[in-house]
C-alpha cells in the first residue's frame, strides 16, 4: 500500500505541475526547460555520454526556438528554421524506429550520441512548447489534449494487456507489452478524442482522431525505443526522480517521441485548411 500511495502522490505532483504550467507561455517554457535538462541527464547516463556539450546545445536551441521573436525582434526566419529542425528530427526518429526492428544493439559511437541528444531529446522538448505556441495566441489545448491521449493510451494499454494480453508485441525489448494492450490503448485513445473535441474548438473531431492514432502509434514506439536503450544499459528505470515511477524520461518518453509528429500534423492541418 505504501508503494501504491507513493506512486499516486508522485503521479499527482507530476500531472499538477503540467497543468499549472499551461497558465502562460513562460511557465510552460520554464517547466519543459527543467524537465528537458533532467531527462537529458538521465538519457546521457543511459548512453554513457559525459560532458557539458549536450546541455549547452539543449539550452541554446531551446531558448532560441521558444523565444525567437523576443531574441530577434521579429518572426522572420522562424518558419524556415522550425522546418529544418523538424525534417532532421523526423529523419533521426525514423532511423531509431528502423533500429527498433533490428535485433542488433543501437550503435552508440560518439557522433551518434550527440545526434540523439540533439534530435531525439532536445528537439522533442522544443516541439512540445511549439505545439502550445503554434497559433497566433498562446493556446495550450492541443498540448494538453495530447497528454490526455497519451495517458489514456498508456492506462488502457496496461489494463487490457494485463487482463487480456496473450500475444507479445516486442518480447525481446519489453516482455510485458502485448498486441492486445496496444490495440486497446489505441481504441480508447480514439474514444477519448471524441470527448476532447466536445471541450475544445481548436481542432475538428477528424483531426483529434488522427492525432489519437499518431500519438498511440508513435508514443508506443517511443516507449519501446527508450526500453531498448535501458536494456542496452542494463537498467530497469532511467532514473529515480519520480518515486514509484522511475525516471522522468520514463514518464515522458512517449510524448517526447510523438512531439515532432504532432507538430508536423498540425502544420499540415493549418496549411491545407
Residue-range domain boundaries for the chain: 2-272
Q: What percent of the chain has pLDDT over 90?
A: 53
128-146 confidence digits (pLDDT tens): 999 998 765 678 899 999 9
User: What's the pLDDT at 166?
Assistant: 85
What cell numbers appear for 176 in the block? 510485458
Average pLDDT over residues 10-29: 84
Ordered DSSP codes for 31-77: HHHHHHHHHHHHHHHHHT--SSHHHHHHHHHHHHHHSHHHHHSS-TT
39-75 confidence digits (pLDDT tens): 999 999 998 888 899 999 999 999 999 988 888 888 8
CA 246, CA 89: separation in Å to the nearest integer? 26
Angle subtended by helix axes 25-47 and 53-66, to nearest 10? 160
Lowest mean pLDDT: which of 32-36, 56-60, 94-98, 235-239?
Answer: 235-239
Average pLDDT over residues 66-85: 88
Q: Is the pTM of this model over 0.85?
A: yes
pLDDT band at residue 21 using 50, 70 and 90 as cut-offs: confident
Average pLDDT over residues 151-162: 92
Amino acid at each position: 500500500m505504501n508503494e501504491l500511495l507513493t506512486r499516486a502522490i508522485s503521479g499527482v505532483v507530476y500531472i499538477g505541475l503540467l497543468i499549472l504550467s499551461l497558465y502562460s507561455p513562460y511557465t510552460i517554457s520554464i517547466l519543459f526547460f527543467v524537465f528537458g535538462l533532467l531527462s537529458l541527464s538521465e538519457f546521457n547516463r543511459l548512453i554513457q555520454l559525459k560532458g557539458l556539450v549536450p546541455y549547452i546545445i539543449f539550452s541554446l536551441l531551446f531558448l532560441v526556438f521558444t523565444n525567437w521573436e523576443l531574441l530577434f525582434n521579429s518572426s522572420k526566419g522562424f518558419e524556415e528554421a522550425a522546418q529544418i529542425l523538424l525534417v532532421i528530427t523526423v529523419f533521426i526518429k525514423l532511423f531509431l524506429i528502423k533500429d527498433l526492428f533490428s535485433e542488433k544493439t543501437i550503435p552508440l559511437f560518439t557522433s551518434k550520441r550527440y545526434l540523439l541528444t540533439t534530435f531525439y531529446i532536445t528537439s522533442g522538448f522544443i516541439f512540445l512548447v511549439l505545439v502550445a505556441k503554434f497559433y497566433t495566441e498562446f493556446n495550450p489545448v492541443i498540448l494538453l489534449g495530447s497528454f490526455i491521449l497519451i495517458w489514456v493510451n498508456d492506462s488502457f494499454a496496461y489494463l487490457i494487456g494485463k487482463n487480456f494480453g496473450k500475444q507479445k508485441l516486442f518480447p525481446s525489448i519489453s516482455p510485458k507489452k502485448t498486441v492486445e494492450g496496444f490495440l486497446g490503448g489505441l481504441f480508447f485513445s480514439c474514444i477519448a478524442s471524441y470527448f476532447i473535441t466536445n471541450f475544445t474548438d481548436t481542432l475538428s473531431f477528424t483531426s483529434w482522431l488522427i492525432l489519437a492514432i499518431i500519438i498511440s502509434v508513435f508514443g508506443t514506439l517511443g516507449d519501446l525505443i527508450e526500453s531498448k536503450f535501458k536494456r542496452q544499459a542494463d537498467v530497469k528505470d532511467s532514473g529515480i526522480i519520480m518515486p514509484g515511477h522511475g525516471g522522468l524520461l520514463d514518464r515522458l518518453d512517449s510524448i517526447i517521441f510523438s512531439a515532432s509528429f504532432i507538430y508536423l500534423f498540425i502544420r499540415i492541418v493549418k496549411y491545407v485548411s
